[in-house]
Structure 1
Amino acid sequence: MAFRTFLKSLGANAPSVETVVANRAVRPGDRIQTHVTIRGGGADVRVDRLVLELVTRAEDREGETGWNRPVPFAERHVGPFELRAGETLAHRIDLDVPWEAPLTYVLGRPLRGGRVAVRTTLEIDNAVDRGDFDEIAVHALPAQDMFVEAYRRLGFRLDEAEVKMGVVQGGDNQTMPFWQEIEFDFPDYYRRPQGEQLETGFFARPDSLDVFLGSTGAHRFEYAGLTVEACQKWLDAYCREEWQM
């Protein structure tokens, strides 16, 4: 999928940018491949920077559906370089997807509230033009899907996800300026206040996953040997202890 933005701030004969994202379905730890084509306008210009970013929506910065103040969490840039009138330049730019990237898909299905996009920015003579947002799918890692499936088997209902700015309680190893909170509605057989949800955060690393439940801090799980059945057994025991049945 491609998008092109004409640099309105530089006039009618300004350069244009087209970005093609080669792999729009990824997981944390993957690499996104993009191909960016810049076409010169009616005059020679000096491009200060061509920037590609991964951005997400934070609930305390945005409206219900907008991209008013997206939060960048990965970046690559090229420049400075000269762009002659009518010239075409092509760049391949790869973006590494951080392990703590917000998820937009779990169990192969869209996660309500999860949004991540690639944003292209061209800076010329102190004029900055930010292109359209090319949304991508960030699928859960196998261990994350195991826990979501464990919730499902125990009768929890997946509600939505929110990205919140700041540091989660107990998140000593958190590397992003935000965390994603996934909200689950309790099944009826756990005793808890009316309307309370189990808020979960997944903090992934190459070899293990920290699971945050409510305000109890991190619970670490190694990927090696982890199964849905083990996740379900642990989660059920945790809930029975916290919310006596």
Structure 2
Amino acid sequence: MVFKKMLSAFGVGGPSVDTVLANPNTRPGLALDGHVNLVGGDAPARIEQISVGLVTRVEIEGGDTEYAGVMEFHRMPVSGAFELAPKQQLAIPFQLPVPWETPVTDVYGQRLHGMTMGLRTEVAVARAVDKSDLDQVSVHPLPIHERILDAFQALGFRFKHADLERGHIYGVPQTLPFYQEIEFFAAPQYAQTVTEVELTFVTSQQGVEVILECDKRGGFFTGGQDVFGRYSVPHSDAARTDWTPVVDGWLRETTSRYGGLRAQGFGGPGHYGAPGQYGAPGHYGAPGHYGAPGHYGAPGHHGRRGPGMGGVVAGAALGVAGGLVAGEMMDDAFGGDDGGDDGGDFGEE
């Protein structure tokens, strides 16, 4: 009996967990529906809590180095404490709201190169090793995101890479501790002015803040510099605006500036008025308006399971070694690289 208790403390013969999502595809502002399937082990177990959370890989700067760490940025309890009998089977439903600022991972049905997103399930077991499960999640763009990305492609920009940077953008309201940068090689008509453009969306229920960072080429007597532009757009403008000339105007306005605008909140008000002033919420405001998460295909089982990740590993608490280990765990869980080649369209080969 003592030996069995010792084995149970190390997770041998203990409960097992497997989370199944109704559909791993979602969008910011919607929700992920699923069930946590729990099976009791060889002995009774005291379950202290079951929770689910969204995790992703974030670039973290530490001194002169930059490394990738895995951050849990949104968590919700699924169940409180209860007793799990030996071999007992439970299916516990949940609906996890997806934050509006959740970064986009998939565009045009392709995974953005550099992006990883997962749903982590944690089962806290009293006096034993906690159990966990990790499931791949795909976050698709909202209509306003799609229209702006379409405009970049129509203007001839080629997708390069996407990642998440830990930190906050000056003057932009953020609820998450990171922001997404979608990087493009400059289109031919801008090539003499800029080398690359980085696009950031900071989304809320009312609309989106669009931040442009242009890597401006240096002149004969001047060095290169980064210039910034910020523009506020309501969701309601998605379908009623010709976005190609609008984005072209943003880029030309931004690249006409000089550097040093970051500390000034990216300069003056953008094309759609003062930053943050969206007016009345658009018709995309209410979660669920885009339809059930089955829109992208038939519901299916989650991706390949991987080992659990203990706790939140982000910020100053995460060292370089910890970040590398966590990153490898995400790679193992999701089958390695995120797909897509550098250069070209969004993830297309």
Q: TM-score per shorter chain, which class?
A: 0.7 to 0.9
Given that 2:229 and 2:250 are in contact with CA atoms closer than 8 Å, whether structure 1 keeps it comes out as no
**Deviations 1:61-117, CA, capped at 9 Å, x for gaps:** 8xxxxxx84211221212111112222222001111111111111233221112111
The structure where helix makes up a greater share of residues is: 2
**Partners in 2 of 1:220 and 1:240 — Cα distance?**
17
**Deviations 1:202-234, CA, capped at 9 Å, x for gaps:** 112223111011163531111223348632212
Q: Residue in 1 aligned with 2:39? A: 39
Q: Residue in 2 aligned with 1:3? A: none
Moved over 6 A (4+): none
- Give 1:152's aligned amino acid: Q
Q: Residue in 2 aligned with 1:28? A: 28
Q: Is 2:234 the partner of 1:222?
A: yes
Q: Residue in 1 aligned with 2:158? A: 157
Normalising by structure 1, we get a TM-score of 0.85
Instruction: Among all aligned residue pairs of Structure 1 and Structure 2, give the percentage whose two residues are the same amino acid.
Output: 34
Report how many residues are paired.
229
Q: Residue in 2 aligned with 1:14? A: 14
Q: Secondary structure at the match of 1:60?
A: strand
Q: Residue in 2 aligned with 1:74? A: 74
- Computing the radius of gyration over CA atoms, which structure comes out larger, 1 or 2? 2
Q: CA deviation at 1:163?
A: 0.7
**Partners in 1 of 2:167 and 2:47 — Cα distance?**
34
Q: Secondary structure at the match of 1:224?
A: helix
Q: Residue in 2 aligned with 1:205? A: 204
Q: CA deviation at 1:55?
A: 0.9
**Partners in 2 of 1:217 and 1:91 — Cα distance?**
46
Given that 1:76 and 1:94 are in contact with CA atoms closer than 8 Å, whether structure 2 keeps it comes out as no
Given that 1:55 and 1:118 are in contact with CA atoms closer than 8 Å, whether structure 2 keeps it comes out as yes
Q: Call closer, same or farther: CA 1:150–1:8 in 2, change over 3 Å.
A: farther
Normalising by structure 2, we get a TM-score of 0.61
- The range that moved more, 231-240 or 46-55, is 231-240
Gaps of 5+ in 1: 1-6, 62-67
Q: CA deviation at 1:9?
A: 5.8
Q: Residue in 1 aligned with 2:108? A: 107
**Partners in 2 of 1:48 and 1:217 — Cα distance?**
48
Gaps of 5+ in 2: 1-6, 62-67, 214-226, 257-349
